[in-house]
């Protein structure tokens, strides 16, 4: 397979990523084995989302059910690809440790971990484990804190970092007033993290790739961050509108039909701002017409069940099934640009054309 970009393969430890593009892990049940394996087959990193997999599989709500579902989904993805597979496990999950252990036991290649600082993630890794650990951060300060904690307590240097900016979809690692602040543009964040990691890489003699994420939509965006010094990019929103994405067609059509003005910032029950497609369900939340009738289990540590206007896991599960009367979809800031549903391969080819076209424009400038 010819490379999609003229960028060197991204090395995460001893893993070689031929196409340095990571498909972001999207929950609940948006990025599963079908999507992740298709991305891995194109040389990128296909990423599962661990959030609520027990609910997705209908096996139950307990930590044991979710751990079993995580293993099942990894096995299913492995049966479809020999490429690199990752899994996104949120720090805020109440069964975080058990989920991490399940993914490691099943031999996942990479664990991506954010929605909080994964300060104790290496504590779950047994000696001789080949799973790579990649924190998701939103600032150079967070990258420094994680690196210092891991090296001091566990003698472990992060295998890479995902730096996620405020244009991402889903839960955001920023205060509401920071989201539109130019100081927090992804370009600035990536440059700051690269600066912080440089002396660490020199001291440890280890490569720590930086993966830019949040609002990356086109091949031109990809080239811009490669030129800035990122070793890879992460993209999530565009992969929703693919044939292989593991959601109901109505979910994909919500992306295709989305207008710029339909995308807004919401306050999630888990205590973080998030970016979503505004719909009737969310309007009723604002009007105070929603309240959870029950909670399957305390899935997110930061969720205040008694004060929550709705159960976010139930809302997201309903949406992935196409039931938007009782749910909603997260989306990135540039999601309104999605115009059609294509195959994963066709999307990679389109990104490659855009990337090389941007390169020609720069050469002729």
Length of the chain: 365
Residue 113's pLDDT is 96
Residue 2's pLDDT is 67
For residues 317 and 251, is the Cβ–Cβ distance under 8 A? no
Q: Which domains does the chain have, with CATH numbers?
A: 10-247+337-351 (3.20.20.70), 249-326 (no CATH)
| 59 has pLDDT over 80 | no
353: pLDDT confidence band, cut at 50, 70 and 90? very high
Question: Can you tell me whether residue 334 is helix, strand or coil?
Answer: coil
| Across 165-175, average pLDDT | 91
Residue 294's pLDDT is 62
282: pLDDT confidence band, cut at 50, 70 and 90? very high
Residue 64's pLDDT is 85
Task: Please tell me the pTM assigned to this model.
Answer: 0.94
For residues 17 and 55, is the Cβ–Cβ distance under 8 A? no
pLDDT digits (tens, 9 = 90+) for 285-315: 888 876 665 665 566 666 666 667 778 888 8
| Across 99-109, average pLDDT | 96
135: pLDDT confidence band, cut at 50, 70 and 90? very high
Summary mean pLDDT of the chain: 91
Order of strands across the sheet that contains 170-171: 170-171, 273-277, 263-267
| 71 has pLDDT over 70 | yes
Residue 268's pLDDT is 82
| Across 126-134, average pLDDT | 94
| Across 85-110, average pLDDT | 93
Please count the helices (runs of H) and the strands (runs of E) in the chain. Answer: 12, 13
With tokens 């805020």, the residue in question is: 92
CA distances from 211 to 10, 165, 251, 254, 278 (A): 10, 11, 27, 28, 29
Helices (H), 158-218: 186-204
| Across 259-277, average pLDDT | 91
pLDDT digits (tens, 9 = 90+) for 1-13: 667 998 999 999 9
| Across 105-125, average pLDDT | 95
| 179 has pLDDT over 70 | yes
270: pLDDT confidence band, cut at 50, 70 and 90? confident
E-strand stretches of the chain: 10-12, 15-17, 21-23, 45-49, 84-88, 110-113, 132-137, 161-164, 170-171, 210-213, 232-235, 263-267, 273-277
Which among 149, 150, 181, 144 is positioned nearest to 165, based on CA atoms? 181
Q: What is the rounded CA–CA span in Å between residue 237 and residue 98?
A: 28
List, in order, residues 6 or more apart from 4 with CB less than 8 Å away.
19, 21, 42, 43, 348, 349, 351, 352, 355
Q: Which tokens sit at 218?
A: 């086109």
Q: What is the rounded CA–CA span in Å between residue 150 and residue 92?
A: 18
| 365 has pLDDT over 70 | no
| 157 has pLDDT over 70 | yes
| 361 has pLDDT over 80 | no
pLDDT digits (tens, 9 = 90+) for 182-239: 999 999 999 999 999 999 999 988 999 999 999 999 999 999 999 999 999 999 999 9
| Across 140-159, average pLDDT | 96
């Amino acid at each position: 397979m010819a490379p999609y970009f003229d960028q060197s393969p991204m090395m995460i430890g001893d893993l070689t990523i031929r196409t340095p593009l990571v498909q972001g892990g999207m929950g609940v049940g948006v990025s599963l084995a079908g999507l992740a394996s298709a991305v891995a087959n194109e040389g990128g990193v296909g990423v599962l989302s661990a959030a609520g997999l027990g609910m997705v599989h209908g096996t139950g709500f307990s930590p044991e059910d979710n751990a079993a579902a995580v293993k099942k989904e990894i096995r299913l993805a492995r049966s479809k690809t020999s490429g690199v597979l990752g899994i996104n496990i949120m720090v805020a999950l109440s069964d975080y440790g058990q989920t991490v252990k399940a993914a490691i036991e099943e031999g996942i290649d990479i664990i991506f971990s954010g929605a909080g600082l994964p300060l104790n993630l290496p504590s779950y890794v047994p000696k001789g484990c080949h799973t790579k650990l990649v924190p998701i951060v939103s600032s150079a300060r967070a990258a420094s804190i994680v690196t210092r904690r891991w090296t001091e307590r566990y003698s472990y240097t992060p295998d890479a970092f995902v730096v996620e900016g405020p244009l991402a979809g889903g839960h955001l690692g920023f205060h509401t007033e920071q989201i539109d602040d130019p100081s927090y543009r992804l370009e600035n964040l990536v440059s700051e993290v690269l600066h912080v990691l440089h002396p660490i890489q020199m001291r440890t003699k280890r490569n720590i790739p930086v993966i830019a994420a949040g609002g990356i939509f086109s091949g031109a965006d990809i080239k811009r961050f490669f030129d800035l010094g990122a070793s890879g990019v992460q993209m999530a929103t565009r992969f929703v509108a693919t044939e292989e994405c593991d959601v109901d067609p109505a979910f994909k059509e919500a992306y295709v039909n989305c207008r710029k003005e339909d995308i807004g910032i919401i306050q999630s029950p888990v205590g973080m701002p998030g970016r979503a497609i505004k719909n009737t369900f969310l309007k009723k939340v604002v009007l105070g017409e929603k309240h959870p009738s029950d909670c399957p289990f305390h899935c997110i540590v930061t969720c205040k069940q008694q004060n929550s206007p709705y159960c976010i896991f139930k809302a997201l599960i309903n949406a992935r099934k196409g039931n938007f009367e009782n749910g909603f979809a997260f989306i990135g800031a540039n999601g309104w640009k999605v115009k059609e549903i294509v195959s994963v391969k066709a999307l990679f080819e389109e990104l490659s054309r855009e990337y090389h076209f941007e390169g020609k424009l720069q050469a002729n400038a």
